[in-house]
Chains A and B, each alone.
Chain A
């Protein structure tokens, strides 16, 4: 617990350094975010360096399509900077801040949420507010879906634009496991009698962290403290049952808990190879998509735990020192368009879940989002409506550190 320090002192010191150059800077850019046609004019010929996780080929080829379209329509050159962990991009912005590079940042747009957004926002390293000025922002119907304005309970304040939804789902290979466990507690019982059949990515890999959050939400019965900034005392109290649970669970996992996969994709590979029979994903369509490509056997089925699972929205943000803010905003607005969102939710392309409020669309456009779900591998919409809210973002690093502290060296 020694590592669980409040970050406010640091943030205050940081403010001193950031505010001075920052305030004079936004003016110097001469960007009028309300005048969209002027922005489009300004964006023409600019290159957008879009830092986004590059580990999923489907997403990469979707972004290639986005780049071509943007080039044709707006004369914008989109460069997908593939990062292994978006934390690298956050570090990069911090490093540029350290070096006094306040106007020529190397990142124009990033795909983030949760603690990465919280860190950037807290340190005033983001440009904006701009997101709600986008012509396409109304499509998400933020009044009906407050999660479009709230990133892990932290208000987005127009600093980021919704891009895609995610929800934790579990999937199992029905060849080896016919009746999968329906609660976090049931997973332990099942795993105890079937050792070596389950594992989860090691935190701080985001899927692993999400598993911890899911477990702590269920085990603590959604303790209200989880939705406020974490404190030492609350952390001790709320997570006690989690550690008991994990202490019992780990010896029953794959490799007796001496090894955890590094990512969602590695977990998927373990499933594809038959190492395990129960796994989890943060894209509800992941199993469906992987069955189509042959990565997973056709006997794989997706489901949502009885009490619901964590769902969140991930966003696009622009660093305070981005060089091509106009083009970045045009890009974000395009990514939020019906056309781009429909293609993103098409399992033949990216296969994600849209942030657009489909019910608000008229029938002529709505059909574009009708996904032909393979009956077997996909979770049902009813199941996916069982959503739990993300805890406050401060819980994520706290849980991750505590996990590392306890389980990373034994």
Chain B
């Protein structure tokens, strides 16, 4: 029963995504009855090829799609290798969840306000160090090759991959493995890279692929930090979709398929890199090398995370100072006066979106948690290693949002559904679910089955051992999953905007609407509100287990 229910749920959730992708792709081949075009043709593709700078757009999407996960994962692994158990590590672990909750758009704005020629950094060092009394004419943000986009994505994905690694790590019992390796004479950093990394990577592989798809198809970050002449493929596809010229619909459909292809190609390149690194690792393991490279790995690993932290802190500072800044002429390091006027101005506009945001994120996340636990529990009880279709849950992460959301819109309208709150919650559920699944599944699957066996031998039913044994043992991963799910929901823009027909506003959708106005002060206010919500969630995920297990220190340690 449980198994049947969880399977049909998975198909039910995957259907709109596949259907949406299919519907969205029809116009790419000329089939679009509402515009009177019922004959298949390749015109849209011919137009697409002629789009100026298309190669560049695709190339930038590819570059950020491959380099973002590569650099981020390298930094995370080197960090874990060099810092596990150190004091730095304790700090970082405490900070990683709040860091992750920095919504993409807010982080991108903060970064832009930090590194722009007129940004906070430049104001701090000017005019004393630089002699600049006006901002230098440098192309930093929105640079032609998308370096600041790449930088922004890495800063944002490092905490994500770190959190995913930390969630998976305990199952590998790293302390014991390292101890064994160290008794064989391996330096700690080298030991981690040789013993833990190869077993950890498979556990974080799906998050990495989600990062590839996200980085190659992101819209909001690319709009803020990405190149503009030409922009990334995703940004162009969105602008074609929104163009009042109906002809461009065909082009947009073809473009979204190209986006799908680009993201897939990025994944394929990644898989090739995976093979290459696998070979290198095997060779490196076989050398039996115990010391070489340790210093370099240690230096990079130890410094990378503080740098990322400093950048994020700097971005946060840029947001905070702009949110309270009165007139602030360049090159003053600080505004000439401080004001709460920007907050006062936004206060009346905040309440409805705030309420919607909380309602949508809480309901979609709780739904997701119930579904995920049901799936994992049915998977466990059916005693098969992995239920076949659970990969379908990852579809929303493996297919660029842009591609299937448009199709879903048309489909919901065919069904005669009005934009309403439950539709938006459903849309959010599609995106929240995989993240909840990602963050919970490994912990759930790796939970020592002997706990349950012991419970059974003591006469406990399946149900009882579920509530009394597994849920308490998995409390921390469950809460982390909820916090992540809510953070994801809070940061979603496209599903809210499209499925809510713009009528259902959240903090994020309102913030992005403001961005076209680019008032730095107001954007900062909204960004700060946006990022404070998930932080609350992560705080709870951190402190609830500590509170519940305050007399059970062993429970905290196993997590």
A residues in contact (CB < 8 Å) with B: 2-3, 5, 7, 10, 13-14, 16-17, 49, 51, 53-57, 60-61, 64, 79, 81-85, 87-92, 94-101, 104, 106, 115-116, 119-120, 123, 176, 195-196, 202, 254-256, 258-260, 262-263, 265-266, 268-270, 273-275, 294-295, 297, 397, 404-410
Bound Cα distance from A84 to B497, whole angstroms: 11
Contacts of B247 in A (CB 8 A): 5, 7, 10
Q: Which listed residue (A49, A51, A98, A115) contacts B410, Cβ 8 A? A: A98
Q: Which listed residue (B34, B137, B510, B518) contacts A269, Cβ 8 A? A: B518
B413 at the binding interface (Cβ < 8 Å): yes
A-contacting residues, B4-58, CB 8 Å: 33-37, 47, 50, 52-54, 56-57
Bound Cα distance from A120 to B246, whole angstroms: 10
B245 at the binding interface (Cβ < 8 Å): yes
**Distance between B245 CB and nearest chain A CB, rounded to angstroms:** 6
Contacts of A100 in B (CB 8 A): 413-414
**Distance between A183 CB and nearest chain B CB, rounded to angstroms:** 25
The contact string, 1 if C-beta is below 8 Å from chain A, for chain B 329-353, is 1100000000000000100110000
Q: In the bound complex, do residue B516 and residue A258 qualify as a contact, i.e. CB atoms below 8 Å apart?
A: no
Determine the residue in chain B with the shortest Cβ distance to A122.
Answer: B246
Query: Are A3 and B47 also in contact (CB < 8 A) when A55-B513, A262-B228 are?
Result: yes
Contacts of A120 in B (CB 8 A): 244
Q: In the bound complex, do residue B329 and residue A55 qualify as a contact, i.e. CB atoms below 8 Å apart?
A: no
Q: In the bound complex, do residue B513 and residue A82 qualify as a contact, i.e. CB atoms below 8 Å apart?
A: yes
Query: Are A55 and B35 also in contact (CB < 8 A) when A100-B414, A274-B134 are?
Result: no
Q: In the bound complex, do residue A84 and residue B246 qualify as a contact, i.e. CB atoms below 8 Å apart?
A: no
The contact string, 1 if C-beta is below 8 Å from chain A, for chain B 492-520, is 00000000011101000010111111111
Bound Cα distance from A87 to B517, whole angstroms: 16
Q: Which listed residue (B47, B50, B516) contacts A85, Cβ 8 A? A: B516
Contacts of B431 in A (CB 8 A): none
Q: In the bound complex, do residue B413 and residue A95 qualify as a contact, i.e. CB atoms below 8 Å apart?
A: yes
Q: Which listed residue (A7, A81, A260) contacts B503, Cβ 8 A? A: A81
Q: In the bound complex, do residue A17 and residue B34 qualify as a contact, i.e. CB atoms below 8 Å apart?
A: yes
Q: Give chain B's interface secondary structure class.
A: loop
Query: Are A106 and B418 also in contact (CB < 8 A) when A119-B245, A273-B135 are?
Result: yes
Q: In the bound complex, do residue B246 and residue A119 qualify as a contact, i.e. CB atoms below 8 Å apart?
A: yes
Closest 3 CB pairs of A and B: A409-B53, A55-B517, A99-B413
Q: In the bound complex, do residue B228 and residue A259 qualify as a contact, i.e. CB atoms below 8 Å apart?
A: yes
A-contacting residues, B101-133, CB 8 Å: 117-118
Q: Which listed residue (B139, B516, B522) contacts A255, Cβ 8 A? A: B139
Most B-side CB within 10 Å, residue of A16, A17, A51, A258: A258
Query: Are A87 and B228 also in contact (CB < 8 A) when A99-B410, A265-B517, A404-B52 are?
Result: no
A-contacting residues, B240-254, CB 8 Å: 241-247, 249
Q: Which listed residue (A55, A94, A255) contacts B137, Cβ 8 A? A: A255
**Distance between A266 CB and nearest chain B CB, rounded to angstroms:** 4
Q: In the bound complex, do residue A258 and residue B517 qualify as a contact, i.e. CB atoms below 8 Å apart?
A: no
Contacts of B329 in A (CB 8 A): 274, 297
Q: In the bound complex, do residue A266 and residue B518 qualify as a contact, i.e. CB atoms below 8 Å apart?
A: yes
Q: Which listed residue (A56, A81, A101) contacts B502, Cβ 8 A? A: A81
**Distance between A382 CB and nearest chain B CB, rounded to angstroms:** 30
Bound Cα distance from A275 to B246, whole angstroms: 37
Q: Which listed residue (A2, A96, A275, A410) contacts B229, Cβ 8 A? A: A410
**Distance between A319 CB and nearest chain B CB, rounded to angstroms:** 12
Bound Cα distance from A196 to B137, whole angstroms: 7
**Distance between A37 CB and nearest chain B CB, rounded to angstroms:** 29
Q: In the bound complex, do residue A294 and residue B327 qualify as a contact, i.e. CB atoms below 8 Å apart?
A: yes
B196 at the binding interface (Cβ < 8 Å): no
Q: In the bound complex, do residue B518 and residue A91 qualify as a contact, i.e. CB atoms below 8 Å apart?
A: no
